[in-house]
Structure 1
Amino acid sequence: MSTAEHLAAIDLLRAREFPVVHGRSERGSQGPGYHIAELLTSDPFWDDDGTRWEATEDQYEAERDGLAVLLADRWGPPQTFSLQSLFERVVDTDFGDLADGGADEEIPEPWAQLSASVPDLHLWRVEGRWIALGVSQWDKEQPFQLLAVVTETDPP
């Protein structure tokens, strides 16, 4: 996809109603209050010595940053929002903290899903919705993805 296609996908997600149930869409995943579009997906890294992985990580971060510059022209500079502590809270919730008998915090979507694979997001608040860009990777062998997110759910 080209940059123009990325911008068109974000505009489409911003205009689209949110579904009532979680599921897949033609571009990614969606659910009540959110859309996640997979704008770019790399090849996996099963037989990589790390060289291709590092180059791809740099490429995807540059794609995110370039798209963020264009969106900043529309909406101003983004906030940078780290998901690291949120990921730790999700893990504590899923597996429980042995010291306190388990956590009872529920992390709303799409934030729980994003925190599992996206370290940080570029984030804007526009017309009552959050728009975010991030680079996802589930594991060293898995592909990178450039994600665009539109949600009405505030970050936790």
Structure 2
Amino acid sequence: MTTAGHLATIDLLRTRAFPAPPERSGSVDSGPGFHVGELATSEDFWEDDGTRRLLVEEQYEAERDGLAALLTARWGPPRELSLWSVLERSMDGEEMPEPWPTLSCHTPHLKLWRAEGRWTGLGVSQWDKELPFQLLAVITEIDPPDEA
């Protein structure tokens, strides 16, 4: 998908109502107060020596940063949110609202903007080193947890 297509998807998710029960529709996971959309997904890395993985990771980070520049032009500089502490805290049993604990399992950090009552975030996700990278858009009305 193109940058224009990614922006159109983000704009669509920003206007979509949040469902009461969690649901998955196509490449979007949604629940009370949030949508997490997969903008792009790479191939997996089962037969890779690490070289291709590194190149793909750099490509996805560059795509995120390109989109971030466009969103920064709309809403100003993003908040940089590390999700490592969220992961640690949720693994220690601290209760946190979705989408934050699930995101923290596979997305190390997000670029976040607050606009029109919703947070919009961009991140690069990978569940495990053999699995695909994903460029994610996060739309939520749920404030991110405080960084501890």
Coarse TM-score class (shorter-chain normalised): over 0.9
Counterpart residue type for residue 11 of structure 1: D
* The one of 126, 151, 155 aligned to 2:115: 126
**By how many angstroms is 1:27 displaced?**
2.6
Counterpart residue type for residue 10 of structure 2: I
Unmatched tracts of structure 2, length 5 or more: none
Task: Give the equivalent residue in structure 1 for 2:42.
Answer: 42
* The one of 103, 106, 130 aligned to 1:114: 103
Partner of 1:150, secondary structure, is strand
Rounded to whole Å, the distance in 1 between the matches of 2:69 and 2:19 is: 29
Mapping for residues 14-33 of structure 1, pairs under 5 Å: 14-33=14-33
Aligned length: 145
Cα RMSD, aligned residues only: 0.6
Runs of 4+ in 1 over 4 A off after TM superposition: none
Partner of 1:38, secondary structure, is strand
Per-residue CA shift, 1:46-82, capped at 9, x if unaligned? 0000000000110000000000000111001111100
* The one of 129, 132, 138 aligned to 1:140: 129
So what's the TM-score if we normalise by structure 2? 0.96
Rounded to whole Å, the distance in 1 between the matches of 2:32 and 2:24 is: 12
Partner of 1:8, secondary structure, is helix
Rounded to whole Å, the distance in 2 between the matches of 1:72 and 1:130 is: 13
Counterpart residue type for residue 47 of structure 1: E
Task: Give the equivalent residue in structure 2 for 1:153.
Answer: 142
So what's the TM-score if we normalise by structure 1? 0.91
Counterpart residue type for residue 112 of structure 2: L
Task: Give the equivalent residue in structure 2 for 1:8.
Answer: 8
Rounded to whole Å, the distance in 2 between the matches of 1:54 and 1:29 is: 27
**By how many angstroms is 1:23 displaced?**
1.4
